[in-house]
Amino acid sequence: AQTVTQSQPEMSVQEAETVTLSCTYDTSESDYYLFWYKQPPSRQMILVIRQEAYKQQNATENRFSVNFQKAAKSFSLKISDSQLGDAAMYFCAYRSAYPGGTSYGKLTFGQGTILTVHP
């Protein structure tokens, strides 16, 4: 079974500065997808960024970028120019790419990191 670990229960950042959230995962599969989701106080889960394991290039989405280290099974999220609206719980998630497997179609989540943005 796959596991996802977020070792930072809480992080804080000053507005306009950069912060990096950590995520490690464990899997025996070679093909999979990784995601970062944001959950603000409204509880609406919002997809922030995705990474395909077969792609070596790190994904970027505006102010959000990832550092994907496949061999180390590490997937960190960097938020640049932090804004007050970035304050939320952030979840790292894994999804298998193998059809028919026991973990196919489901997301396995880490425990989350609460990000506070100070003005």
Partner 1 sequence: KAGVTQTPRYLIKTRGQQVTLSCSPISGHRSVSWYQQTPGQGLQFLFEYFSETQRNKGNFPGRFSGRQFSNSRSEMNVSTLELGDSALYLCASSWGQAAYEQYFGPGTRLTVT
- Indicate the residue among 50 and 70 with the shorter CB distance to partner 1: 50
13, two tokens: 């950042």
- Indicate the residue among 58 and 103 with the shorter CB distance to partner 1: 103
40 to 69, contacts with partner 1 by CB under 8 A? 42-47, 50
75 to 94, contacts with partner 1 by CB under 8 A? 91
Confirm if 26 and 6 have CB atoms less than 8 A apart.
Answer: no
Residue 109 contacts partner 1 per CB under 8 A: yes
Give min distance, CB of 33 to partner 1, in A: 5
Q: How many angstroms separate the CA atoms of 32 and 13, rounded?
A: 31
Residue 27 contacts partner 1 per CB under 8 A: no
Residue 81 burial class via C-beta count within 10 angstroms: exposed 0-12, middle 13-18, buried 19 and up: exposed
Residue 93 burial class via C-beta count within 10 angstroms: exposed 0-12, middle 13-18, buried 19 and up: buried
Where do contacts with partner 1 occur on this chain (CB under 8 A)?
A: 33, 35, 37, 42-47, 50, 91, 95, 97, 99, 102-112
